[in-house]
Amino acid sequence: MSWYTNLLKQDATYWPLTARDAYGNDSYGEPQQIKCRWEDIQELIITADGEEKRSNSYVFVNIDLTNKGYLYLGISEDADPRLIQGPMLIQKFEKIPSIDGKITQRRAWL
């Protein structure tokens, strides 16, 4: 474990976007429990779709996430994140490797 992953002390649930059909309906994978550092900070961002939007939170994680997936602060076993209160849509995800390439910072804006 690196110093970076040791900072991820909060529990979160992640639902990856797995498919989008011809009608624009999304399907999500099974919920995954992950560790994170969740910060509720508003920030103006450019989304993965190129739109300018306001993000209400950003979250540091140790795995790659999918844009349009969902994150929830806490643990949930619900199969569909859209049917419960609390999960937030991932508007943007990026990963930045350290200069030596040994650590990669991953962050999602919600």
SS3 readout for 30-97:
CCEEEEEEEECCCEEEECCCCCEEEECCEEEECCCCCCCCEEEECCCCCCCHHHCCCCEECCEEEEEE
The whole-model pTM stands at: 0.89
* Domain housing 43: 3-109
**pLDDT for the residue 48:** 84
Neighbouring-strand partners of residue 98: none
Which CATH number characterizes residue 15's domain? 2.40.10
Q: How many domains does the chain have?
A: 1
Q: Write the pLDDT tens digit of every residue in 78-97.
A: 999 999 999 999 999 999 99
Q: How far apart are CA 103 and CA 54, in angstroms?
A: 28
Residue ranges in the chain whose pLDDT is less than 50 = none
15 token code pair: 């639902």
